[in-house]
Amino acid sequence: MPNRRRAAKSPYTADRNIPGAFEGETVTRRRFMTGSVQVFGGIAAAAIGLPTLGFALGPVFEREKSHWEDVGAAADFPDNTYIPKVVTTTPGVGEVGKTTVYVRRHNLQIDGPVRDSFDQYVAISNRCAHVGCPVRYFEASQRFICPCHGGVYDFRGARVGGPPVRPLDRFYTRVLNGRLQVGPRFSVNSELRRFSPRDPGEPLDGIGQYLYPRRFSTPELHR
């Protein structure tokens, strides 16, 4: 009875009658060349691609330095209305890098007890928590109102109407030699708990703080 099973292929190219095979050679030169072209092509593509990709993506991972800006004598700010001040949030771009901050002293009846040294003054960002239009404080109604889509916030900056998903952002404040300084921005949820600065349109209540995680680029959160 003839053996129907084919003999197992020899691993040596010489045994498989491949022309020009060397003694002890297991990989054909054609296969070796194909493989090495792919490997070196991959290395060359990565050598160009990875640095340029990192170059473009770098700012996502670069942490901003927090800076403090003087806005006036600390005694000048009342606790029952806001004083608008202009601070520079992005240096080096001229007018567009500036933003309006509404500043007042901490009011024990409205804000509750002072939590820490950054809580002695309240500095509210004028950037609407809907899509980032500039809001304005109206003294008559004691509300912040956004001209774009009708977002309304109360005296503490908490949302009372319209599309915004969270209260207005705030800035850290500190008093140095009687002068009030405004520092980095932070976001708050509806209970005014502090979070690292989020972009507008990103809710912070419930699942929101996990759907929109902290970015690498924002300054460290002061506790």
Partner 1 sequence: MRIKLPNPIPDKLRPRPRRPGDGNGNGRLTPTQATIEASKDAGISVVDWLDERTSLSGAGRWALFRKVPKGTNWFYTLGSATLFAFLSQAVTGVFLAMYYRPDATSGAYESIRHINDEVFLGEFVHGMHKWGSTVMVVLVFLHMARTFFFGAYKYPRELNWVIGVTLLILTLMMAFTGYLLPFDQRSYWASVVAVNINGTGPFIGPYLSDFLRAGPEFGATTLSRFYSIHMLLLPGAIAALIGAHLYLVTKLGTTAPPWSKAEKRSELRETEA
Residues binding partner 1 (CB under 8 A): 56-57, 59-60, 62, 64, 89-90, 92-94, 96-97, 131-133, 148, 197-202, 211-213, 215-218
Q: In a 10 Å sphere around its CB, with 0-12 CB exposed, 13-18 middle and 19+ buried, how is residue 12 labelled?
A: middle
Q: What is the DSSP string of 66-132?
A: P--EEEEEGGG--SSS-EEEEEESSTTSGGGGEEEEEEEE--HHHH-S--SGGGSEEEEE-B-TTT-
Q: How far apart are CA 86 and CA 182, in angstroms?
A: 10
- Choose between 89 and 181: whose C-beta lies nearer to partner 1: 89
Closer of 59 and 78 to partner 1 (Cβ): 59
- Exposed, middle or buried by CB within 10 Å (0-12, 13-18, 19+), for 76? exposed
We find the least distance from the C-beta atom of residue 172 to partner 1, in angstroms, to be 15
* CB-side neighbour CA atoms (13 Å) of 162: 24
Instruction: Tell me whether residue 64 or residue 119 sits nearer to partner 1 (CB atom).
Output: 64
- Minimum Å gap between C-beta 92 and partner 1 is 5
Please check whether residue 208 is in contact with residue 201, taking contact to mean a CB–CB distance below 8 angstroms.
no
Q: Provide, rounded to whole angstroms, the least separation between the CB of residue 215 and partner 1.
A: 5
CB of 84 to partner 1, least distance (A): 19
Q: Which is nearer to partner 1, 13 or 218 (CB)?
A: 218
Altogether, the residues listed in the chain come to a count of 223
Least distance in angstroms from the C-beta of 128 to partner 1: 9
Residue 72: what residue type?
A: G
**Cβ closer to partner 1: 32 or 61?**
61
